[in-house]
Amino acid sequence: MLRTTQLCFLLSLFFVCLFCSGKVTHAAEVNSGTKTLLLVDDHHILYRAGTRRLFHHAEAYAENPVVREDQPWELAIAWSSIHRHPETGIYQLWYQAYAGGRDPRKTHRCVVCYAESEDGIHFTKPMLKLHDFKTDRKPWEGSFPETNIVLLASGGYGDRYCNSVLFEPGEDDPARRYKMLYYDFSPDENNQEWPGWHAAFSPDGIHWSKSPRNPLNQTAYGGRTLQPLFTGEEPYKEQWDKRKSFMRKQWLLPLSMSDAVDVFFDPKQKEYAVYGKCWLNGPDGGLAWKHAMARSSSKDFLTWSAPE
């Protein structure tokens, strides 16, 4: 009986020491300043007598929007990505500009444009000689050899979409210090077109080069009741859209992350990470049941993990 009691005591002492060592290690990590603390609650606060938690609510700028649709290629703008250059202090802004059918070239339907600002409020759109724009739509009809367009679409089945830009001044390759991830349609090595993530790189955020490995992955919108793809089967099927009276392509791939992404570098994991939109399959096996947010990671910005 005594031996059993001693054994229970020693085991209890072991687990208490183990628990305390973890708490001490955690406390040492916090006190040494090696861990970033988000004080959104009282988890890391021992006591706060005589204090109260005060939340400062963000207020919308009274003169919004700070970037307006005032160019022929800007029927609608969205998907902004902004960065402040550490040396110049200039805010660099990349945004999606949708032109629709104003320019008959499909590569110009949905593009990435560039603007900059000294204060983050008053933006200018530098007219560059990188990509032109042509339209016969009033009141814009004419040819515009200078635009602020910095990236065109591939001109595939669907539109290019979204743009998330990451700046890494410590990148060894100067031509890759600016990295962009976006969604587009491109052919693979077998000349089979797929929708998926695409990468582009730039030395200055203005002159971009698309990765020859695009598309980096294969994504899909899918459609309800469509079964996953069989080996060797075409990646889509045509389906008549009664509402719009045209033949619509329905992707048969199992659904994954698609056309809404935000990329950043995770210093703790030492990898690139993307948070973006994905689809969940329905309980009845149908595709495109619900939207969800997922994460994908990469060590080289080109090979991405399956979403989680």
What is the per-residue pLDDT for 38?
A: 77
Cα angle value 98/237/157 (rounded, 5°): 25
For residue range 279-290, list pLDDT tens digits in order. Answer: 776 666 555 667
How far apart are alpha carbons 296 and 304 in whole angstroms? Answer: 6
Percent of the chain whose pLDDT exceeds 70: 74
What gap in Å lies between CA 252 and CA 237, rounded to an integer? 7
Instruction: Indicate if the pLDDT at residue 137 is higher than 90.
Output: yes
Whether residue 47 has pLDDT greater than 50:
yes
CB 106 within 8 A of CB 185: no
pLDDT band at 112 (very low <50, low <70, confident <90, very high): very high
Percent of the residues in the chain that have a pLDDT greater than 90, as a whole number: 53
**pTM for this model (two decimals):** 0.78
Task: Report the phi/psi class of residue 191: left, alpha or beta, with left for phi > 0 and alpha for psi in -120 to 50.
Answer: left
**Closest to 195 (Cα-Cα) out of 204, 186, 203, 182:** 186
Q: What per-residue confidence (pLDDT) applies to 121?
A: 96
Band (23; pLDDT cuts 50, 70, 90)? very low
- What letters, b where the CB count within 10 A reaches 16 and e where it falls short, cover 148-169? bbbbbbbebebbbbbbbbbbee
Q: Is the pLDDT of residue 22 over 60?
A: no
- Contact by Cβ (8 Å): 84, 91: yes
pLDDT band at 224 (very low <50, low <70, confident <90, very high): very low
- Could you tell me the two tokens for 249? 């392509």
Higher pLDDT pick, 37 / 179: 179
Mean pLDDT of 195-220: 92
Residue 297 has pLDDT above 90, yes or no: yes
What value does the mean pLDDT of the chain take? 82
- The C-alpha atoms of residue 198 and residue 181 are separated, in whole angstroms, by 6
Contact 94, 117 (CB under 8 A): no
